[in-house]
Amino acid sequence: MSRKILPLNRALKKYTEVEMVAEHRFHPFREWRFDYAIPELKIALEVEGGIWNAGRHVRPDGFRRDMEKYNEAAALGWLLIRVIPNELLSVNTLQLLIRAINVRKGQTNVK
């Protein structure tokens, strides 16, 4: 686990008893990996870097490859949350993850 994500992972464990893993390979035959994932609930967190400096994620070929990866993940039942680097450790990201975890666990009274 990346040291950068440790505070977020500690908060998730505190509020949901669930932890994320880094660099989770999710596809049966492609080498695709999620930046972070909760495999048992099929929840993934992708950090989309380079949006301010024309990085790979926003160039046409990189954007298309990301779409292919994300569509395959959806077809396999994954719920994907996308954030930019400065949102990774935010309260909003923590709240999104907690809501997604609660929904996956079947809790329907989620706000």
Structure tokens, 32: 């695709």
Q: Check if the beta carbon of residue 99 is closer than 8 Å to that of residue 36.
A: no
Q: Check if the beta carbon of residue 78 is closer than 8 Å to that of residue 43.
A: yes
Q: pLDDT tens digits, residue range 12-58?
A: 999 999 999 999 999 999 999 999 999 999 999 999 876 656 566 56
> What is the per-residue pLDDT for 78?
98
Mean pLDDT for the stretch of residues 94-106: 95
> What is the per-residue pLDDT for 16?
94
pTM of the model: 0.86
Q: Check if the beta carbon of residue 44 is closer than 8 Å to that of residue 73.
A: yes
Closest by Cα among 53, 59, 29, 47 to 85: 47
> What is the per-residue pLDDT for 49?
77
Mean pLDDT for the stretch of residues 93-100: 96
Q: How far apart are CA 43 and CA 19, in angstroms?
A: 11
Per-position DSSP letters for 44-97, written without gaps between them: EEEE---TTTT-GGGSHHHHHHHHHHHHHHHHTT-EEEEE-GGGTTSHHHHHHH
